[in-house]
Structure 1
Amino acid sequence: MTTLNVSIAFFFLVVGICQALRWLSKRLLSPGAYGCLARELAGSLQLCTSCLELRMLMDIGPWGGGFGLDVVLTLLFLLFAVHGASLDGASANPTVCIQEFLLLETNLAATAAKLLAQAVGTATGWAVTKLFWSWELTQFHFIQNLIASECSSSVHTSLPHAACVEGTCSFLFHLILLKARQSHPMWGVPALAATVTFLTYAAGPFTGGFFNPALATASTFHCSGNSFWDYVQVYWLGPLTGMLVALLLYQGNIPRLFQRNLLYSHKSKYKIPKAKVTAPVEGDEPQRKKKGGKSKAEPRA
């Protein structure tokens, strides 16, 4: 339990530092610079450090700490709930940035700046976590330092299957994300956290369940077992394809590429009332003529 307490304290420390960084950046930088650079950098730093520490618990905990996968999944849900509430609109995920670009919500320069900030934040998070592990505050961190140089690939299946798994996870994640954006954060944040927890649990034995290219790059690209291009196919092309399919299924089109809706027809919100047409009844016309004739008749002298 000492290891778990140290890790939880590390999580709180990282969230607090990143929250202070966001608060300071919002005061010192312009809204554009904050939204494209500082917010994404702080969010990626927070997400990367937390997930690396949590993955260490997931790998070593079941056989070294006496706690099972249920504890790690509970921590994962709570962490992503905290991330969703504290990231202040940052995605910390390259596929989400590209999705916003395809939805015409950001331009090319802003998207490139966000991707750059995510890369810097993820690299910084990886370096900070490595430094924290080097202090060897617990036995888990000592074991992690011993096996870090000989880490193996997270891909435990064939490459096509692995890419399909990551693509499917990304597809489901982006579908829920697109729907959650239209709902209140009180419901959207827990829904996303539950989705991430379930997908990580389901895809973990096959690919590690990243469906975040930046996070996968920091976590597993340096490990032996697969080549760089193998990792690109699984952890970059797979999630990007899943995002595109989710966007097309949800929107019916990809606004940045084409405006025509291929799946859904837009109906007008306003209904035009139809005039009631009554069929003439036989015998009405002669009666009208008779009445008209009587009214036009001249009075007798």
Structure 2
Amino acid sequence: MSGLNASLGYFLAAIIFAASVRTFLRKWPRFSFILEFASSFMLVACWLEVQTIVEVGEWAGGLGRDVTVTMLFVVLLTHGLVCGGASGNPTLVVLNFLQLEATTLPTVLAIAAQFLGAHLAILVAVYYWSLELTDMHMIKNLMARECSTSLMVSVLQGFFTESVCALSFNLIYLNVQHRSVLIRAPLIAVLLTFLSYTAKGYTSSYINPSLAYGLTFHCSGFTSLEYAVVYWLGPLTGMTMAVLLYMGHIPRIFARNLLYFQKTRFRVPKGDKKKL
């Protein structure tokens, strides 16, 4: 239980940091890209600890699969509620760009901030493990340099898996993106938790380039280019297909609807016939 208490304290610290940044930046909306930095940091930092519990806690700390699934869901739900519109996911930032909801510079700054937040989360997590507050973290500290990759299949299979998962996720996201956060956050948290554990023996279905960068790019087994094909190109491909299927076109590229015939809502009234 002490190991779980240490993890909860770590989660709480990451959540407080993200919430503090969001509160502070309300006065300076032009620096909203920093919200993506905090959002990505919180997501990667917390997921790294959940990953630790999955890899080590189940046999070193007596924490079963039900605990890890619950903790991942709570982390994702809290992330959605605390970070609000800041997704911490580069593919969703690009999605807004393709929908003409964001311009080039804010998109580039947001993506850069997300990867910077993910990298900082790695450094913080490694330092946290080095403190060896529990037996679980002592073992994780010894294993930190020899982590196991999340990509358990070939690059082609991994690319296909991430693309399909990203397609499914983004189609649902597009349908709920303008709903209340109290509705959107639980649905997204359930969906991501389900996809993560469904694809556990394949890619773990991160469908988030900055999250994958923080969780598995530093692990041996594949090159950085192979990881990029699976965890960057795969989600971007699935997201682009989702936009095309949802809207019938990609507004940033095609102005004309390529898939659906849109009928006008209103009938054009016919001119009155002249009376003889």
Residues 1:94 and 2:90 are matched in the alignment: yes
Say whether the 8 Å CA contact 1:101–1:108 is kept in structure 2: yes
Matches within 5 A, 1:222-237: 222-237=218-233
Say whether the 8 Å CA contact 2:73–2:189 is kept in structure 1: yes
2:21 aligns to what? Answer: 21
Q: CA deviation at 1:132?
A: 0.9
Residues 1:11 and 2:11 are matched in the alignment: yes
Say whether the 8 Å CA contact 1:39–1:88 is kept in structure 2: no
Deviations 1:24-67 (A, max 9, x none): 2333xx3122x22x211111111111111111111112222222
2:161 aligns to what? Answer: 165
Per the normalisation by structure 1, the TM-score is: 0.86
Q: CA deviation at 1:180?
A: 1.1
2:243 aligns to what? Answer: 247
Task: Report the secondary structure of 2:200's partner residue.
Answer: helix
- Give the counterpart of 2:120 among 104, 118, 124: 124
Say whether the 8 Å CA contact 2:84–2:181 is kept in structure 1: no
Say whether the 8 Å CA contact 1:45–1:124 is kept in structure 2: yes
Deviations 1:92-134 (A, max 9, x none): 0111111111110111111011011112111111111111111
Report the AA paired with residue 17 of structure 1.
F
Task: Report the secondary structure of 1:137's partner residue.
Answer: coil
In the alignment of these two chains, the number of paired residues is 271
Which 5+ residue runs of structure 2 have no aligned equivalent?
272-276
Report the AA paired with residue 145 of structure 1.
N
Report the AA paired with residue 7 of structure 2.
S
2:274 aligns to what? Answer: none
Residues 1:32 and 2:37 are matched in the alignment: no
Distance of 2:100 and 2:268 partners within structure 1? 32
Q: CA deviation at 1:193?
A: 0.6
Matches within 5 A, 1:38-117: 38-117=34-113
Distance of 1:160 and 1:204 partners within structure 2? 16
Report the AA paired with residue 198 of structure 2.
A
Distance of 2:194 and 2:179 partners within structure 1? 20
Distance of 1:70 and 1:42 partners within structure 2? 28
Moved runs in structure 1, 4+ residues, more than 3 A?
271-275
Question: Whose relative contact order is higher, 1 or 2, with alpha carbons under 8 Å and at least 6 apart?
Answer: 2
Say whether the 8 Å CA contact 2:152–2:203 is kept in structure 1: yes
**Percent sequence identity over aligned pairs:** 39
Say whether the 8 Å CA contact 1:211–1:239 is kept in structure 2: yes
Q: CA deviation at 1:189?
A: 1.2
Distance of 1:227 and 1:145 partners within structure 2? 23
Per the normalisation by structure 2, the TM-score is: 0.94
Distance of 2:169 and 2:154 partners within structure 1? 22
Q: CA deviation at 1:272?
A: 5.8
1:200 aligns to what? Answer: 196
1:145 aligns to what? Answer: 141
Say whether the 8 Å CA contact 2:77–2:185 is kept in structure 1: yes
Change (3 A) 1:182 1:25: closer
Task: Report the secondary structure of 1:263's partner residue.
Answer: coil
Distance of 1:101 and 1:271 partners within structure 2? 33
Say whether the 8 Å CA contact 2:53–2:63 is kept in structure 1: no
Pair member with larger Rg: 1
RMSD over aligned CA atoms reads 1.6
Q: CA deviation at 1:145?
A: 0.8
Say whether the 8 Å CA contact 1:3–1:138 is kept in structure 2: yes
Which 5+ residue runs of structure 1 have no aligned equivalent?
276-301
